[in-house]
Amino acid sequence: MESTERGSQEHLRLPEEEASLKKSASFGDASVTGIPPHMLAERRGSKVRFSQSDLKDDGDGNSYREDDEFNEKDDVSYTGVLRNNSAIQRQLAKSNYVLNGRFWHSTNDIVPAPKCDSLRVPEVGRRDSWANRRSSITPSESDSVSKYHPRKRLSSKFQSLDYNVVESQRFLQDQEEVMPKAVQKAALTRWMLNFIIGLYVAIIAVLVALSIKYLSQLKFMAVYEVIKDCNTASCLIPGCLVWMSINMLLVGLGAYLVTYHAPQAAGSGIPQIKCYLNGIKLPGLLSLKTLLAKAGGVVLSVCGGLACGKEGPMIHSGAICASGMARGEFRCCTKKWSPKCCEPLRKDEERRDFVAAGAASGVSAAFASPVGGVLFSLEEGASFLNQMLTWRMLFSSMTASLFLNIIMSAIHGHPENMSNPGLISLGYIGDISFKTIELPIFMLMACVGGLSGALFVQINYKITLFRRRIIKKNWMKVAEAVFVAGMSAVILMMLIYMVPDCQPIRQFNATKFCAVNGSMPEIIEYPPGHGPVEPQKMNKRSVVNLNDTYDYDMDELDVVPHLDEPHHDVHGGQPEGHQDEHDGHEHGHNPYGFHGDHGYTFRGFCPCGYHNRMADILFKTPEGGLHAMLHQPYDEWNFTPLLVLLISYHLLATWTYGLMVSSGVFIPSLLIGAITGRMIGMVVIQFIPSVGTSLAKYALIGAACNLGGTVRMTISLTVIIIECTGDITFGIPIMLSLIIAKWMGDFFTPGIYDIHIEIMGVPLLPWEPPEMTNTIRAREVMNSPVECLRTQEKIGRIAKILNDPESHNGFPVVDDYDPDSSISGTYGRLKGFILKSQLKQILMAEGEDISPDEYDSVIDLRMHMDRAPYSIQDEISLPRVFKLFRGLGLRHLIVVTDRNRVAGVITRINLARFRGEMHKGHFKLEELEVADS
């Protein structure tokens, strides 16, 4: 009786309220506020685009459209219908509000109004719910919205993780038996598992690095043997075919692994890890099969010549290792070992914290940056933080970096040096002091980096939409990756032929060698003041110039001068001080070809005594190219080849990201930025000679700004670059440039990770609630009607709910409620909350097979339900709901009336539907469409 009275009062409005509603709801012909469409047509003179014949009766005297759909899959809200509300309309009138991808404007704007033919007449007694008053979209409109607004929709297939502990009576009884020793044991187990996580990440990093090194050496050696004596365009064709074949074979294998066996291994994995740490369940993201496809796939992608790096996938790999540790289950063949000490840690909350530590360890192993890894997890990933978690993340990161250093140093033959802390080291830049006049130049470079990053994001966004629309079948995804690999080889070979950029071989006496080979060398002329560079001061992480002798791996990641051994000639000669007639520099030995870890010196299309600089840079993995841009001297490159290389590689990197292969965007973005910075530095040195001749600082700033403009990282990226270079003096220019680059990029587009999350339709909750939502109440966004259970419920009804694929994952438990009643205002007084997983366990305890005769039996839920669930009153504002929901990591939030009667339930997607976005200086509030996929 009480709910009937409350329901009828919902439709009684004072005359002044009715006038206010009509005045504030003038959104073309579609404005209604609880007024039936036929009454609205009478008041406006039948201008409503609405056909009464389109409506059907639901048996209770309420009209509805046949295409209105309810999608209550799992724990997300259904996409029901929506009527306008005066409070929300007042907010809409203040800004260009987007509903389901379409703009709703204020009454002063002359714009087409949404159609009214999809509105449902409000049900009698139904509470004034925003989810029940949403304007549904017909199938044709939905297709149109999805086609032209792919970022304005959320997918209902994503579920939330259970971070909240269900404090049932049985749980509390178990807690009373917990002893202090068990708490201490659990704390010690956490630290032990974090140590093992760091160790596992280091081992994976070593395997990935060595595999890429030796496989890429074999590939480039095969290609070089075909084209080493080539000086005409026609002879490049066999080499190009060999290069294409190897690339296509490797990338095809990697794409097959990802596409057919582990789709979650595609890309860098950082957007998915960010979603997981936000509280979203992504099936298959942290499985062992995904780890194998991720680690093996990135080796094949990098060696297959794609414009990608291995650093991003290392973050995903670290997260998978951490997730496996959190499960506390270790498998070997058919045997499984589950240590008893890990039982208290098998919860979503504990697993989330371990995954955050694993992601930090992945960054540490990739960039030799333990502190940067922690900051990366805090800035980009983890949504739920505490002091102890920060310490544990740092411990895992330090462990990963330490063991990687030990193993890699031992492999390179000098374990005592401890000089290989990460997969990539930018090396000791040398003197990178800056002058005051250079700060405006760095700021300008930051603007260029932000624009370049925004351009990268926008182009990749368009390519991704094309892929989702056209390339849908698995074989097409594999074929696209193979095609991109082949085209990459063709484009790079064309650059070698068309833009050779011939440079003299430094410290090489070409007279005898060229005379023996029937040609005379060209006169080597250096620009004024730019002759052979003197050796720089070296330390354990130094990178000396090309005139010195040093050992570094194929990716030029870890440069280690031999300080305590005689320097061997790079071409296989004797140690210094023992040069004889076999010295290649003085007596005409061949300077071209493969020189171990130094890579290749290729003459192609250049005079004798010169080498093809474009071939030298492209016969390396992207890490080697980045290292060269940072450390090669001023006169090593001309401006035009750099410009051609920049445009070509930018397009290749944009095309590559998003393929169904394991790939990262860190190294391509750094390389693009380093090329840009080097070009700007050449211009600055030309017009302002007082700044010196070092291009390293400009390449470093350019690399940082381009990466920051692409991924929109600031604090963590600053620390990562400082730890990579081993020099803190350049921290202020880097930080200043990254902030400006982020601002510039945010002005035009979201970051690359954020835009891919939006395309996937993941209901990600940002750090803060959207602006201009304070007047929206909980009752206007909640799910209603709600499936409720009684404290003593029949087995038949529980089984029916569990068998319903569209039911939620949690249900309020109430009393004084008749589920067969047709009145749907409120649902009884709240007594507790119970999860679907608990109901399944209860029925399993009753027996595997429940006969229909037992359906009328009653189960007491009071022992199993959470007796004090989180609940809010229906008048609370949306920002307060948002902060409570996100801060506590909830999955369900019950909405009650002032008499503690259940009115609805709020889930993640109810809050994620509202998005505030600043684009090109204009703020707009959006409500997103909820789709089935």
Q: What is the CATH number of the domain that holds 806?
A: 3.10.580.10
Q: Rounded mean pLDDT of 356-367?
A: 93
On the question of pLDDT at 792 being above 60, the answer is yes
Pairing of strands 829-835, 810-815: antiparallel
Query: Considering the domain boundaries, does residue 665 fall inside one?
Result: yes
Answer yes or no: do 709 and 854 share one domain. no
- pLDDT bin (cut points 50, 70, 90) of residue 96 is very low
Query: Considering the domain boundaries, does residue 664 fall inside one?
Result: yes
On the question of pLDDT at 467 being above 60, the answer is yes
The top-scoring range by mean pLDDT among 119-133, 379-393, 459-473 is 459-473
Least confident of 423-437, 572-586, 747-761: 572-586
Last residue of a domain, one of 760, 787, 814: 760
On the question of pLDDT at 190 being above 80, the answer is yes
Backbone angles phi, psi at 469, to 5 degrees: -85, -35
Q: Rounded mean pLDDT of 296-321?
A: 93
Of 331, 348, 342, nearest to 192 by C-alpha is 342
Query: 3-state class of 256 per DSSP?
Result: helix
Neighbours of 841 (CB within 10 A): 11
Specify whether the CB–CB gap between 366 and 423 falls below 8 A.
yes
Query: C-alpha angle 869/166/156, rounded to 5°?
Result: 80
Mean pLDDT, all residues of the chain: 76
Neighbours of 685 (CB within 10 A): 17
Specify whether the CB–CB gap between 408 and 419 falls below 8 A.
no
The burial class, CB within 10 Å (0-12 / 13-18 / 19+), for 462 is: exposed
Answer yes or no: do 864 and 806 share one domain. yes
Q: Bigger pLDDT: 125 or 823?
A: 823
Query: 3-state class of 798 per DSSP?
Result: helix
End-to-end CA distance of the chain: 41
Domain of residue 863: give its range.
778-931
Query: Considering the domain boundaries, does residue 85 fall inside one?
Result: no
Cα Rg of the chain, angstroms: 32
Answer yes or no: do 730 and 841 share one domain. no
Alpha-carbon gap, residue 530 to 528, rounded angstroms: 6
CA 193 from chain centre, in angstroms, equals 25
Answer yes or no: do 728 and 783 share one domain. no
Of 640, 582, 578, 576, nearest to 614 by C-alpha is 640
Question: What percentage of residues in the chain have a pLDDT greater than 90?
Answer: 37
Q: What is the DSSP letter of 812?
A: E
Which residue shows structure tokens 């029916």?
Answer: 800
Helix H or strand E segment including 502: strand 502-504
pLDDT value at residue 593: 67
Backbone angles phi, psi at 250, to 5 degrees: -65, -50
Answer yes or no: do 750 and 889 share one domain. no
- pLDDT bin (cut points 50, 70, 90) of residue 584 is very low
- pLDDT bin (cut points 50, 70, 90) of residue 735 is very high
Least confident of 52-66, 139-153, 204-218, 561-575: 561-575
Specify whether the CB–CB gap between 574 and 580 falls below 8 A.
yes
pLDDT value at residue 143: 41
pLDDT value at residue 476: 95
On the question of pLDDT at 931 being above 50, the answer is yes
Pairing of strands 153-155, 929-931: parallel
Tokens standing for residue 719: 């620390």
pLDDT value at residue 126: 37
Query: 3-state class of 877 per DSSP?
Result: strand
Amino acid (one-letter) located at 234: S
Tokens standing for residue 737: 């440039």
Q: Rounded mean pLDDT of 837-858?
A: 80
On the question of pLDDT at 550 being above 80, the answer is no
Q: Bigger pLDDT: 846 or 323?
A: 323
Tell me how far CA of residue 841 lies from CA of 5, 836, 849, in angstroms.
39, 9, 13
On the question of pLDDT at 102 being above 60, the answer is no
- pLDDT bin (cut points 50, 70, 90) of residue 401 is very high
- Residues contacting residue 708 through CB under 8 Å, at least 6 positions apart: 449, 450, 453, 714, 717, 737, 738, 741, 742, 745
- Residues contacting residue 369 through CB under 8 Å, at least 6 positions apart: 363, 401, 422, 719, 720, 723, 724
On the question of pLDDT at 15 being above 70, the answer is no
Using one digit for the tens of pLDDT, what is the confidence trace for 54-94? 444 433 334 434 333 333 344 433 333 333 444 444 454 44
Query: Considering the domain boundaries, does residue 894 fall inside one?
Result: yes
- pLDDT bin (cut points 50, 70, 90) of residue 333 is low
Answer yes or no: do 786 and 717 share one domain. no
On the question of pLDDT at 184 being above 50, the answer is yes
On the question of pLDDT at 509 being above 90, the answer is no
Question: What percentage of residues in the chain have a pLDDT greater than 70?
Answer: 72
Neighbours of 363 (CB within 10 A): 34
Answer yes or no: do 632 and 718 share one domain. yes
Last residue of a domain, one of 700, 732, 760: 760
Q: Rounded mean pLDDT of 654-674?
A: 94
Answer yes or no: do 782 and 922 share one domain. yes
Answer yes or no: do 799 and 851 share one domain. yes
Q: Which residues pair with 542 in a beta bridge?
A: 428
Alpha-carbon gap, residue 337 to 458, rounded angstroms: 48
Answer yes or no: do 820 and 884 share one domain. yes
The burial class, CB within 10 Å (0-12 / 13-18 / 19+), for 485 is: buried
pLDDT value at residue 526: 39
How many structural domains does the chain have?
2
Q: What is the largest CA-CA distance in the chain?
A: 109
CA 637 from chain centre, in angstroms, equals 35
Alpha-carbon gap, residue 645 to 408, rounded angstroms: 32
Q: Rounded mean pLDDT of 670-681?
A: 94
* Alpha helices (H) in 177-235, listed in sequence order: 180-227
pLDDT value at residue 875: 93
Tokens standing for residue 594: 């493969």
Edge to edge, the sheet with strand 789-790 lists 789-790, 810-815, 829-835
Q: Rounded mean pLDDT of 681-708?
A: 90
Q: Which residues pair with 812 in a beta bridge?
A: 833
Alpha-carbon gap, residue 402 to 413, rounded angstroms: 17
Query: Considering the domain boundaries, does residue 446 fall inside one?
Result: yes
Least confident of 109-118, 317-326, 413-422, 745-754: 109-118
pLDDT value at residue 195: 95
- Residues contacting residue 504 through CB under 8 Å, at least 6 positions apart: 522, 524, 526, 609, 610, 611
Specify whether the CB–CB gap between 395 and 195 falls below 8 A.
yes
- pLDDT bin (cut points 50, 70, 90) of residue 571 is very low
Q: Rounded mean pLDDT of 912-916?
A: 90
pLDDT value at residue 49: 33
On the question of pLDDT at 727 being above 90, the answer is no
Q: What is the DSSP letter of 854?
A: G
Which residue shows structure tokens 């803190």?
Answer: 728
Which residue shows structure tokens 């799992």?
Answer: 74
Tokens standing for residue 643: 């410009």
Answer yes or no: do 872 and 908 share one domain. yes
Answer yes or no: do 797 and 714 share one domain. no
Query: Considering the domain boundaries, does residue 650 fall inside one?
Result: yes
Specify whether the CB–CB gap between 297 and 258 falls below 8 A.
yes
Of 590, 609, 588, 592, nearest to 600 by C-alpha is 592
Query: 3-state class of 223 per DSSP?
Result: helix
Query: Considering the domain boundaries, does residue 823 fall inside one?
Result: yes
Neighbours of 591 (CB within 10 A): 22
Alpha-carbon gap, residue 96 to 124, rounded angstroms: 32
CA 14 from chain centre, in angstroms, equals 51
Q: Which residues pair with 99 in a beta bridge?
A: 102, 927
Least confident of 98-107, 340-349, 481-490, 735-744: 98-107
Least confident of 24-28, 745-749, 849-853: 24-28
**Cis peptide preceding 785, ω within 30 of 0:** yes
Alpha-carbon gap, residue 624 to 557, rounded angstroms: 7
- pLDDT bin (cut points 50, 70, 90) of residue 42 is very low
Q: Bigger pLDDT: 81 or 456?
A: 456
Last residue of a domain, one of 760, 795, 825: 760
Tokens standing for residue 661: 């292969």
Neighbours of 339 (CB within 10 A): 11
Of 748, 752, 744, 749, nearest to 446 by C-alpha is 744
Q: Bigger pLDDT: 354 or 804?
A: 354
Query: Considering the domain boundaries, does residue 907 fall inside one?
Result: yes
On the question of pLDDT at 495 being above 80, the answer is yes
Long-range contacts (CB closer than 8 Å, 24 or more residues apart) made by 645-649: 645/495, 645/499, 645/614, 645/617, 645/675, 646/672, 646/675, 646/676, 646/679, 648/491, 648/492, 648/495, 649/307, 649/675
pLDDT value at residue 77: 35
Read off the CATH number of the domain in which 675 is found. Answer: 1.10.3080.10
- pLDDT bin (cut points 50, 70, 90) of residue 729 is confident
Alpha-carbon gap, residue 742 to 372, rounded angstroms: 18
On the question of pLDDT at 723 being above 60, the answer is yes
Alpha-carbon gap, residue 74 to 836, rounded angstroms: 10
Tell me how far CA of residue 253 lies from CA of 309, 622, 869, 903, in angstroms.
17, 20, 50, 54
